[in-house]
Each structure stands twice: as C-alpha cells, then as structure tokens.
Amino acid sequence: YDINPLIIMNFYKNKKVKKEFNSSKYNIPDGVGTVYASKMKNIALKERIAGIDFFKDLCNLSIEKELSIFLYGSEEGIADKVKKELEEKYHGINIAGTLNGYVKESEALKKIKEAQPDILFVALGSPLQEKFIIKNKKQFSNIKIIMPVGGTFDVIAGKIKRAPKIIIKLNLEWIYRMLKEPKRIFVNIKLIKFVFL
C-alpha cells in the first residue's frame, strides 16, 4: 500500500484496514508527513517514496520480469492515454487492459479477471481504492502485485501537473498541491489535522 498522510487519516481508526496494511508485504512511505511521523515513533524511515515514482519503477520491473499490467481507474479515456504514454516510454511493456474508474464494481472485476494481468494498478483515489482492493483481493489471487496509485494516471496523462522538481526536493509538494487544488478542501483539512495528530 501507498501510505500517505491522507490515507493515514482515512484509516487510522479502522482496525480492519490497519491490520491489512500491517500485513501487506510492502508499504510505501509516500509523503514527508509519513516520514516525519515515523521518526516521532522511533521508526526512522529514511525518505519519502512518491507513489508515482514507485509506479514507474514497477513499469521498468514489469519489462524485466515479463509481467503484464492492468490500469484501472480515473475518468474515461485517461487509462487509455496512460497505456499509450507507457508504451511509448517503456519499450516492451505489456498492458493487458485498461478500464475507467466509474464502471460498476462487478464490471471491473469481470474485466480485470478476463485480462489476467500480473500487476494491477488501482487509481480510484483514497479511500475508494483501498476499500476496493481489500474487498476483492481474494478474487485476484493470480495477480502478483496490486497497488493503489491515487491520481497517478491523471499526472501521467497530463491532466494534472506535478510540482516543479525543486519543490519536490524541498519536500513541499503537498503544499503546492493544496494551493493548486483548493477545491480539495476536505482533503486539505484532513492534512492539517494530520499535522496535529
């Protein structure tokens, strides 16, 4: 799982989901908030790993290991655009299927199973994506890697821009996003609450 402050705020009171996160093979500390919080708890995580960077690493790994990928989530057309982008940038990548994130759950399950991917990226935003994975992962027992990726597809498709590199380096990407998307007021309130928590 990708563990960023928003996701922590969404689930820190939810025992079932916390158990699920804790039993996951790999969790990624996405967000400086996660790293600082770990330091306060004497579990010194070294640095932030942005979900989107890990996504790209997995794309490279998929080529090396000959694993196929399914892209599920975002608005109609976005996952297809991501497929095209990835096929251009990552030679030999195998995208087994794409699906927008606004279809019925039963349709999503059917399409994903039919495509038989090795890797499933779920871009429904939090908490939807985590709930989808937890609820359905038993049905995906043949899938080797399942990762929730939030707004990653929107960034790769060029719908949303990431902060300039210097801002990312200075660990200020979250503030940049807050200012850029003030509409995400509830997300922003949660992030401020996280700081106090």
Query: What is the contact surface with ligand UDP in residues (CB under 6 A)?
Result: 6, 73-75, 101-102, 123-126, 128, 150-151, 153-154
Using the minimum distance from each CB to ligand UDP, give the nearer residue, 141 or 160.
Answer: 160
**Distance (Å, whole) CA 35 – CA 93:** 32
Using the minimum distance from each CB to ligand UDP, give the nearer residue, 63 or 178.
Answer: 178
Give the shortest CB-2-to-ligand UDP separation in angstroms: 8
Give the shortest CB-65-to-ligand UDP separation in angstroms: 26
Give the shortest CB-28-to-ligand UDP separation in angstroms: 13
**Distance (Å, whole) CA 131 – CA 9:** 14
Supply φ then ψ for residue 80, to 5 degrees: -65, -40
CA distances from 35 to 49, 52, 57, 62, 99 (A): 9, 17, 20, 27, 33
Using the minimum distance from each CB to ligand UDP, give the nearer residue, 142 or 186.
Answer: 186
